[in-house]
Structure 1
């Protein structure tokens, strides 16, 4: 019998530089590490884990530090990218493996890319969902974001001020999450020409531009309960700290300026996702920045939460790609 039967989820807490990390496993075989984005959790991979296990892989979905049952260090700079890469390495080692394939969505995509960049000895292949790889470079990030939107404020800048977004979100975590998820989902996002929910108007909040009254098709009331329950318990500061380290990351990663990711790689984006459309130049640059790219997919009519909006399609692309990887490093 396999160590982790295909139909069984195994929860464990493992030691890490953060203190502890919560990891959920399913299946056995070559290790595939799944890294979520904002504002999510290991649960974002609930559709992928059984498919990966059935295909002969050991799927391990982590709660990134600051989320869920993982540790939430108090210091903002504890959430810099190098620390998150160290967490991923700690997971691989704690699970008794030397190497893994790393798959990330949203912020998890950036964490996955940097894990592969900084520790190519551990991460033998990388799949990036929603957010394409863009090498470190250019001006300081906060300077770039501050110049966007004219009299409107870009959401990243809004998130960077400690306490500000928390004051908006935490009085009604469930309602805020429902609106945020809906704003970036294909079937509930604002119509073209409506005020953009990625920006805050003068004196306003992000929530002012969220759609209200209908959950996206991929999100049940029970799913929303899982996400809301976690953030009601933990608060949002740990999750938002990722945005508050972008300038530190820019400084920390200066020795990787312009560096390509050379491992076998995969990209999946949503055709209606701003992460894909705003970063079209990054996708165009893949022949240079991702020389090991196996394939790049933009899912027509799909929003930001693609592995939840299009689970069957995402699972097929992922398992086909995993099956094409060299076996030598398994």
Structure 2
């Protein structure tokens, strides 16, 4: 099986989605969702591994990331991201054997799809961002909760910076390499950064990817067609889920992973990846590939 992906385009009502793809076209569908600041190329290791086990692997560039389009409706709420994924599943003829894998923003989306009552996916793999109920649990001692919140607030400074119109867009050339350096200590991100900036070729694309954060933190509602899906993002998956987190993650502290298993259904797993930070799928691909393949082919 070639490690080099093919490409495809999926026409959705709101935009055209471009994707990398591996594996047979008649295999069970595996949709791989990237995060920020990243691109579909971060699945260049996992994609071929799943293809070797017979999956039809499709890794879309999320709305706003080139070569996918910028959505005409300008909606970047999680419900809109879920809607895109379900739309891809429908257009590609996915069935009840389909699975979804997500990292960072892709993990938020995958977690929400796992919680959505009409989701077409039988299993979820989520990386680096836990389901929301695991992050808001308060059953630890108050001092531990307070320290964790304070530390995470310091780590999440970039979310506030990304709210500043114009300034944030103009700063991405410096900000993105810094985030990769801080979030995945010791990882040589040169190849990854080429792909990231290829996905942000214009000011419109840069504004679009920052709209994810602005939609999350500002008191706005998604468009009506996305609201039912969007309501699921604060809940934990109800389908079997594998959660992976890098021990050295500089974006989302590993301490939150301790509560994840308590909010997941039976047949779920939580694994910590040694020697990996936030972008664990490119830092420790052999370990990540093994765990994901084992979980999805049980």
Question: What TM-score range do you get, normalising by the shorter chain?
Answer: 0.7 to 0.9
Q: Which range is displaced more, 241-250 or 301-310?
A: 241-250
Residues 183-214 of structure 1, C-alpha deviations (whole Å, 9 max, x = no match): 21131xxxxxxxxxxxxxxxxxxxxxxxxxxx
Residues 261-310 of structure 1, C-alpha deviations (whole Å, 9 max, x = no match): 110100110101145526x34x3333442123522111123111100000
* Stretches of structure 2 lacking an aligned partner (at least 5 in a row): 137-148
Q: Number of aligned pairs?
A: 275
Distance 1:224 1:257, change over 3 A: closer
Equivalent residue number for residue 209 of structure 2: 239
Find the aligned partners of 1:112 and 1:23 in 2 and give their Cα distance. 17
Q: Is the 8 A contact 1:109 1:130 kept in 2?
A: yes
Q: Is the 8 A contact 1:6 1:53 kept in 2?
A: no
Equivalent residue number for residue 169 of structure 2: 166
Verify: 1:226 aligned to 2:195, yes or no: yes
Equivalent residue number for residue 130 of structure 2: 132
Verify: 1:260 aligned to 2:263, yes or no: no
Find the aligned partners of 1:116 and 1:317 in 2 and give their Cα distance. 19
Equivalent residue number for residue 196 of structure 1: none
Query: Which of the residues 81, 88, 91 maps onto 2:85?
Result: 88
Equivalent residue number for residue 20 of structure 1: 16
Distance 1:304 1:121, change over 3 A: closer
Deviation at 1:323, TM superposition (A): 1.1
Q: Is the 8 A contact 2:241 2:268 kept in 1?
A: yes
Residues 225-275 of structure 1, C-alpha deviations (whole Å, 9 max, x = no match): 332232134641111111011145888578558633110100110101145
What TM-score, normalized by structure 2, do the two folds share? 0.81
* Stretches of structure 1 lacking an aligned partner (at least 5 in a row): 139-143, 188-215, 325-330
Helix, strand or coil at the partner of 1:135 = helix
Helix, strand or coil at the partner of 1:24 = strand
Q: Is the 8 A contact 1:23 1:60 kept in 2?
A: yes
Equivalent residue number for residue 285 of structure 2: 311
Distance 1:154 1:75, change over 3 A: farther
Verify: 1:60 aligned to 2:58, yes or no: yes
Helix, strand or coil at the partner of 1:162 = coil
Bigger RCO (CA 8 Å, 6+ sep):
2
Helix, strand or coil at the partner of 2:198 = helix
Bigger radius of gyration among the two: 1
